[in-house]
Structures are given as C-alpha cells and as structure tokens.
Amino acid sequence: MNILLFSQNEWNKPLSRDDPRVAHIQKILGKFTGETLRVGCLGRGRGEAKILEMPSQGDLVLEFPSLDTLAPGPPSLPVVLLLGHPRIPVIQRLCRDLASFGVAGIAVCGTDLGEKSYFSSSFWTRNQAQNLAIEGAQQGGLTVLPAIDRWWSVADFLEKNTNTYREYNRYVLHPSHSHSFFAPTLAADFIRKTPRGVLIAVGPERGWSDREVDRLMGGDFTPLSLGPYTWRTESAAVFAAGLSTHLYSATEQQ
C-alpha cells in the first residue's frame, strides 16, 4: 500500500483500535511511536504524518500535516470502463484494481446475458464499491477516486450519456463479433491520434449480446481487438485500462 487515505472529516482525528488502518500501520508497515508514514487526504493531496501515540489499548494518534501543505497526488486520467456487470467477486477485484490505475470512471450496466440479481447484491447495498476503490487508490498512491455508476442496460447508459463522452474515443471489446476481426488495437489507435478520452466497453463473462454490440456500434463505439485470443472479462478490463493509462502518462511526458 503506497499511502493511507483519509477523508477531510477524518483529518486530525485519532484512529480507533478497530480501524483497519491501525492494523496496517502496526502489522504491515511495522511502524512505532515517533515514526512517520505517507498519508493522503481525498481530493486534496499527499504528505507525511507522525505517530504520536500507539497504545496497546485505545486510539492511535497521528500528527497530520496541514491540508494547505499537501503535495498534489497523481491526477485521474480520462479513461472510463463500461462494464457489463460481471460476477460479484470479479467486480469487487475490478473496482480495486481499476482505481489503482487512476481511471476516471467505472460504469457498470446490466446485460442481456448477465444475471439480473447482481444489482441487489450487498456489493451495491453496502457501498462496497467505494471502499474497494479507496483500497485501490491507496495502492496507487492516488487521492482521487473514480466515479462508479450503475445503469440498468447498455441502452440506458447510451440514452443518458449522449453528450458526456462525445469527444472520447469509444471502443467495444467483443471478440466473437464479426467486426472485431478488422478492428484496430488500442495501442495503434493511440499512436495514430491521442484521444481526449477513452471509453472502453467490456462485456460480462458470457459476453455482449449481438443486440448490445449493435447498440454500442450505433453509439460510435469501434470494435477493438486484443488479438486472436479470448480473454477473461477481468483480464481484458485490467489490460485495457492499464494500457490506456500508461499511454496517456507516456504522452504527457513527451
């Protein structure tokens, strides 16, 4: 874990013994009273805090830096994943992993071939998505979180985001669709023209239906090739997001 994240409401307040960050400080980081650790404030920046008190019982007390002295963390990048709702263990890992890359958004939609009960899972009702995104941001050293939204279907997403991604390059991953045999690779399209943003649609385990692919292509999504192989949903989403953020970072450094 690169940094420990705190909300502005938590800044300058002790950590209770049952806070998982206390166990991380003690057991993983192996820190003691008087030592420092990297911290971040959501939406503000990063700095170092000093451990003032680490009693065997009671709260752990940190000396936080002033919010005005925090250095900015890495920015989020204009990369958005449109995910056909996968199995719950997969979306849990993806929220954490995609957040660590600095993507700007994760849009999750119901699909023709996916399980309809996913949206009633405790993953959504207990706000697990936000907590997992915080875990990912801590790993990536980020102080910004991706926007995580739900949509009932591909049609619902397209109808309500007509103008949101107008200037983004839009791609759909669906290897069994006939159009994908003639699709560009993501890296080749970046080299050809650096986009203002990237929106990549990745289907669930059973893939997008032909109807959904047609709807996406009608919304100016271009079929994208990852080669002649069939990728797992999780692998395809992580690879596409990781490559996109890497290419953006490389472009900014030129």
- pLDDT of the residue at 205: 86
Please tell me the predicted confidence (pLDDT) of residue 66: 96
Query: Whose structure tokens read 């960050």?
Result: 21
Other beta carbons within 10 angstroms of residue 230's beta carbon come to 10
Q: Which amino acid is at 135?
A: E
pLDDT in tens, 30-72: 999 999 999 999 999 999 999 999 877 789 999 999 999 999 9
Contact 183, 227 (CB under 8 A): no
Q: How far apart are CA 60 and CA 14, in angstroms?
A: 6
- For residue 150, the model assigns a pLDDT of 94
Domains of the chain, by residue range, sit at 4-69, 77-253
What pLDDT score does 56 carry? 75
| Predicted model pTM | 0.89
Low-confidence ranges of the chain (pLDDT < 50): 179-183
Question: Closest by alpha carbon to 82, among 112, 97, 103, 113?
Answer: 103
Q: Are 101 and 78 in contact (CB under 8 A)?
A: no
Q: Name the β-bridge partners of 108.
A: 83, 150
Residue 133: per-residue pLDDT: 96
Sheet holding 147-151, edge to edge: 147-151, 103-109, 77-84, 198-202, 169-173, 222-223
**Polymer length of the chain:** 254
Residue 179, pLDDT score: 47
Tracing tokens 């983004």 back to the chain, one arrives at: 168
Q: Cβ of 206: how many Cβ atoms within 10 Å?
A: 14
Per-residue pLDDT at 251: 67
Protein fold of 77-253:
Alpha/beta knot (3.40.1280)
Q: Does the domain at residues 4-69 carry the CATH identifier 3.40.50.1000?
A: no
